[in-house]
Amino acid sequence: MTIKKFINTVFMTEILKGMALTFRSMLTPAITRQYPKVKRSAAAGFRGEHAFVRDPETGREKCIGCGLCGAVCPSQCIHIYTSEDPETHKKIVDRYEIELLRCVYCAFCVEACPVGAISLTENYEYADYSREALYMTKEKLLANWDKFMAGKKGEEYFKKFWHPQANDFAAYAGQAVFNHKPKVEGK
Ligand code: SF4
Ligand code: SF4
Protein backbone atom coordinates (compact mmCIF):
# COMPACT_ATOMS: atom_id res chain seq x y z
CA MET A 1 0.00 0.00 0.00
CA THR A 2 1.39 3.42 -0.93
CA ILE A 3 1.56 6.26 1.61
CA LYS A 4 -1.06 8.22 -0.28
CA LYS A 5 -3.44 5.29 -0.26
CA PHE A 6 -2.73 4.68 3.44
CA ILE A 7 -3.56 8.33 4.31
CA ASN A 8 -6.72 8.21 2.20
CA THR A 9 -7.87 5.06 3.98
CA VAL A 10 -7.11 6.31 7.51
CA PHE A 11 -8.64 9.77 7.07
CA MET A 12 -11.45 8.65 4.75
CA THR A 13 -10.66 11.52 2.39
CA GLU A 14 -12.84 10.12 -0.41
CA ILE A 15 -15.88 10.18 1.88
CA LEU A 16 -15.06 13.72 3.00
CA LYS A 17 -14.71 14.83 -0.62
CA GLY A 18 -18.09 13.31 -1.43
CA MET A 19 -19.70 14.98 1.60
CA ALA A 20 -18.21 18.35 0.60
CA LEU A 21 -19.72 17.98 -2.85
CA THR A 22 -23.11 17.16 -1.32
CA PHE A 23 -23.01 20.21 0.97
CA ARG A 24 -21.89 22.46 -1.87
CA SER A 25 -24.83 21.36 -4.02
CA MET A 26 -27.18 21.95 -1.06
CA LEU A 27 -26.08 25.58 -0.96
CA THR A 28 -26.54 26.07 -4.71
CA PRO A 29 -30.09 27.12 -5.55
CA ALA A 30 -31.88 24.66 -7.83
CA ILE A 31 -32.75 25.90 -11.30
CA THR A 32 -36.05 24.46 -12.41
CA ARG A 33 -37.68 25.86 -15.49
CA GLN A 34 -41.44 25.64 -15.47
CA TYR A 35 -41.79 24.34 -19.01
CA PRO A 36 -43.94 25.02 -21.01
CA LYS A 37 -44.61 28.31 -19.22
CA VAL A 38 -40.91 29.17 -19.27
CA LYS A 39 -39.12 28.24 -22.46
CA ARG A 40 -35.53 28.32 -23.52
CA SER A 41 -34.71 29.31 -27.07
CA ALA A 42 -32.78 26.70 -29.02
CA ALA A 43 -29.25 27.45 -30.12
CA ALA A 44 -28.76 28.65 -33.69
CA GLY A 45 -28.45 25.68 -35.99
CA PHE A 46 -30.44 23.42 -33.70
CA ARG A 47 -31.72 20.48 -35.71
CA GLY A 48 -35.44 20.66 -35.18
CA GLU A 49 -38.46 20.28 -37.42
CA HIS A 50 -37.81 20.64 -41.14
CA ALA A 51 -38.79 23.51 -43.41
CA PHE A 52 -38.91 23.81 -47.18
CA VAL A 53 -37.35 27.00 -48.50
CA ARG A 54 -39.76 29.33 -50.26
CA ASP A 55 -38.23 31.20 -53.20
CA PRO A 56 -38.93 34.90 -52.48
CA GLU A 57 -39.19 35.65 -56.22
CA THR A 58 -41.67 32.99 -57.28
CA GLY A 59 -43.30 32.32 -53.90
CA ARG A 60 -42.97 28.60 -54.67
CA GLU A 61 -40.62 26.01 -53.20
CA LYS A 62 -36.98 26.38 -54.21
CA CYS A 63 -36.62 22.62 -54.65
CA ILE A 64 -35.81 21.39 -58.17
CA GLY A 65 -36.74 17.80 -57.44
CA CYS A 66 -33.25 16.37 -58.04
CA GLY A 67 -33.69 13.70 -55.37
CA LEU A 68 -30.23 14.07 -53.80
CA CYS A 69 -31.65 14.59 -50.31
CA GLY A 70 -33.69 11.41 -50.63
CA ALA A 71 -30.66 9.49 -51.87
CA VAL A 72 -28.38 10.64 -49.03
CA CYS A 73 -30.94 10.29 -46.23
CA PRO A 74 -29.76 7.42 -43.97
CA SER A 75 -33.32 6.75 -42.78
CA GLN A 76 -34.81 6.80 -46.28
CA CYS A 77 -37.62 8.91 -44.91
CA ILE A 78 -37.84 11.52 -47.70
CA HIS A 79 -40.32 10.87 -50.50
CA ILE A 80 -40.28 13.02 -53.64
CA TYR A 81 -42.84 12.85 -56.45
CA THR A 82 -42.16 14.91 -59.57
CA SER A 83 -43.66 15.44 -63.00
CA GLU A 84 -42.59 17.37 -66.08
CA ASP A 85 -44.03 20.71 -67.09
CA PRO A 86 -45.32 20.06 -70.63
CA GLU A 87 -44.41 23.57 -71.79
CA THR A 88 -41.08 24.36 -70.13
CA HIS A 89 -40.03 20.70 -69.67
CA LYS A 90 -38.86 21.61 -66.19
CA LYS A 91 -39.38 19.28 -63.27
CA ILE A 92 -42.33 20.10 -61.03
CA VAL A 93 -42.25 18.90 -57.44
CA ASP A 94 -45.78 17.57 -56.98
CA ARG A 95 -45.19 16.12 -53.53
CA TYR A 96 -42.32 16.31 -51.09
CA GLU A 97 -42.82 14.39 -47.88
CA ILE A 98 -40.76 13.57 -44.80
CA GLU A 99 -41.61 10.96 -42.19
CA LEU A 100 -40.42 12.73 -39.06
CA LEU A 101 -40.81 9.62 -36.94
CA ARG A 102 -38.02 7.96 -38.90
CA CYS A 103 -35.75 11.00 -39.23
CA VAL A 104 -32.52 11.02 -37.21
CA TYR A 105 -31.93 14.77 -37.65
CA CYS A 106 -28.50 14.32 -39.17
CA ALA A 107 -28.99 17.28 -41.59
CA PHE A 108 -27.43 15.31 -44.47
CA CYS A 109 -30.41 16.42 -46.58
CA VAL A 110 -29.50 20.06 -45.91
CA GLU A 111 -25.88 19.51 -46.86
CA ALA A 112 -26.65 17.45 -49.96
CA CYS A 113 -29.14 19.87 -51.48
CA PRO A 114 -27.47 21.71 -54.38
CA VAL A 115 -29.78 24.72 -54.19
CA GLY A 116 -30.36 25.17 -50.45
CA ALA A 117 -34.00 24.15 -50.58
CA ILE A 118 -34.38 22.27 -47.31
CA SER A 119 -33.50 23.35 -43.79
CA LEU A 120 -33.92 22.27 -40.22
CA THR A 121 -35.55 24.84 -37.95
CA GLU A 122 -35.09 25.62 -34.27
CA ASN A 123 -38.59 24.38 -33.53
CA TYR A 124 -38.51 21.48 -31.08
CA GLU A 125 -42.14 21.66 -30.02
CA TYR A 126 -43.86 19.40 -32.48
CA ALA A 127 -44.69 16.36 -30.36
CA ASP A 128 -48.11 14.97 -31.21
CA TYR A 129 -50.41 12.03 -30.67
CA SER A 130 -50.80 10.86 -34.26
CA ARG A 131 -48.47 9.63 -36.97
CA GLU A 132 -50.24 11.82 -39.52
CA ALA A 133 -49.27 14.99 -37.62
CA LEU A 134 -45.64 13.95 -37.88
CA TYR A 135 -45.83 13.18 -41.59
CA MET A 136 -44.64 16.37 -43.25
CA THR A 137 -46.08 17.36 -46.59
CA LYS A 138 -44.80 20.04 -48.94
CA GLU A 139 -47.45 22.45 -47.70
CA LYS A 140 -46.60 21.86 -44.04
CA LEU A 141 -42.90 22.28 -44.76
CA LEU A 142 -43.48 25.55 -46.61
CA ALA A 143 -45.63 26.79 -43.72
CA ASN A 144 -42.71 26.00 -41.39
CA TRP A 145 -40.44 28.15 -43.53
CA ASP A 146 -42.84 31.09 -43.29
CA LYS A 147 -43.20 30.57 -39.56
CA PHE A 148 -39.62 29.95 -38.46
CA MET A 149 -37.12 30.87 -41.15
CA ALA A 150 -38.42 33.56 -43.51
CA GLY A 151 -36.29 36.65 -44.14
CA LYS A 152 -32.86 37.22 -42.62
CA LYS A 153 -33.07 34.17 -40.39
CA GLY A 154 -33.13 31.79 -43.35
CA GLU A 155 -30.28 33.64 -45.04
CA GLU A 156 -28.15 33.43 -41.90
CA TYR A 157 -28.95 29.74 -41.50
CA PHE A 158 -27.66 28.85 -44.94
CA LYS A 159 -24.57 31.00 -44.53
CA LYS A 160 -23.64 29.19 -41.32
CA PHE A 161 -24.95 25.68 -41.67
CA TRP A 162 -25.15 24.79 -45.37
CA HIS A 163 -21.89 23.10 -46.28
CA PRO A 164 -19.96 22.60 -48.42
CA GLN A 165 -20.34 25.96 -50.13
CA ALA A 166 -18.63 27.21 -53.27
CA ASN A 167 -15.94 29.06 -51.29
CA ASP A 168 -15.06 25.84 -49.43
CA PHE A 169 -13.53 24.71 -52.73
CA ALA A 170 -11.55 27.88 -53.38
CA ALA A 171 -7.91 27.31 -54.28
CA TYR A 172 -5.42 28.45 -51.67
CA ALA A 173 -2.59 30.81 -52.59
CA GLY A 174 0.18 28.95 -54.38
CA GLN A 175 -1.93 25.86 -55.15
CA ALA A 176 -0.80 24.02 -58.29
CA VAL A 177 -3.19 24.64 -61.18
CA PHE A 178 -3.38 23.43 -64.77
CA ASN A 179 -2.16 26.00 -67.23
CA HIS A 180 -3.53 26.47 -70.70
CA LYS A 181 -1.59 25.02 -73.59
CA PRO A 182 1.37 27.34 -74.27
CA LYS A 183 0.79 29.53 -77.28
CA VAL A 184 2.97 28.53 -80.23
CA GLU A 185 4.52 31.46 -82.03
CA GLY A 186 3.09 32.19 -85.45
CA LYS A 187 -0.14 30.22 -84.94
S1 SF4 B 1 -32.19 15.04 -41.25
FE2 SF4 B 1 -31.16 13.13 -41.91
S3 SF4 B 1 -32.58 11.51 -41.46
FE4 SF4 B 1 -33.75 13.41 -41.36
S5 SF4 B 1 -34.65 13.66 -43.40
FE6 SF4 B 1 -32.68 14.75 -43.42
S7 SF4 B 1 -31.17 13.25 -44.17
FE8 SF4 B 1 -33.02 12.12 -43.54
S1 SF4 C 1 -34.67 19.47 -51.46
FE2 SF4 C 1 -32.79 19.86 -52.60
S3 SF4 C 1 -31.77 17.86 -52.76
FE4 SF4 C 1 -33.93 17.48 -52.19
S5 SF4 C 1 -34.96 17.16 -54.17
FE6 SF4 C 1 -35.18 19.32 -53.63
S7 SF4 C 1 -33.46 20.32 -54.68
FE8 SF4 C 1 -32.98 18.13 -54.62
Mean local confidence (pLDDT), 128-135: 96
Please give the distance, rounded to the nearest whole angstrom, from the Cα atom of residue 109 to the centre of ligand 2.
Answer: 8
| Distance of alpha carbon 91 from alpha carbon 93, whole angstroms | 7
Per residue in 52-102, pLDDT (tens digit) is 999 999 999 999 999 999 999 999 999 999 999 999 998 999 999 999 999
Mean local confidence (pLDDT), 41-50: 93
The structural domains of the chain, with segments of one domain joined by +, span 1-28, 50-165
State the chain's maximal CA–CA distance in angstroms: 97
Confidence of residue 12 (pLDDT cuts 50, 70, 90): confident
* Fold for the domain defined by 50-165: Alpha-Beta Plaits (3.30.70)
Please give the distance, rounded to the nearest whole angstrom, from the Cα atom of residue 125 to the centre of ligand 1.
Answer: 18
Answer yes or no: is the C-beta of 76 below 6 A from any ligand 1 atom: no
Please give the distance, rounded to the nearest whole angstrom, from the Cα atom of residue 20 to the centre of ligand 1.
Answer: 46
Q: Read off the pTM.
A: 0.77
Confidence of residue 159 (pLDDT cuts 50, 70, 90): very high
Confidence of residue 183 (pLDDT cuts 50, 70, 90): low
| Distance of alpha carbon 74 from alpha carbon 145, whole angstroms | 23
Q: Which pLDDT value is given to residue 180?
A: 65
| Distance of alpha carbon 57 from alpha carbon 51, whole angstroms | 18
Q: What amino acid is encoded at 58 in this protein?
A: T
Please give the distance, rounded to the nearest whole angstrom, from the Cα atom of residue 51 to the centre of ligand 2.
Answer: 12
Answer yes or no: is the C-beta of 112 below 6 A from any ligand 1 atom: no
Answer yes or no: is the C-beta of 65 below 6 A from any ligand 2 atom: yes
Beta-strand pair 50-52/78-84: unpaired
Answer yes or no: is the C-beta of 118 below 6 A from any ligand 1 atom: no
Please give the distance, rounded to the nearest whole angstrom, from the Cα atom of residue 18 to the centre of ligand 1.
Answer: 44
Mean local confidence (pLDDT), 19-33: 91
Check pLDDT > 60 for residue 187.
Answer: no
Residue among 52, 78, 80 to mutate when testing ligand 2 (max atoms within 8 A of CB): 80
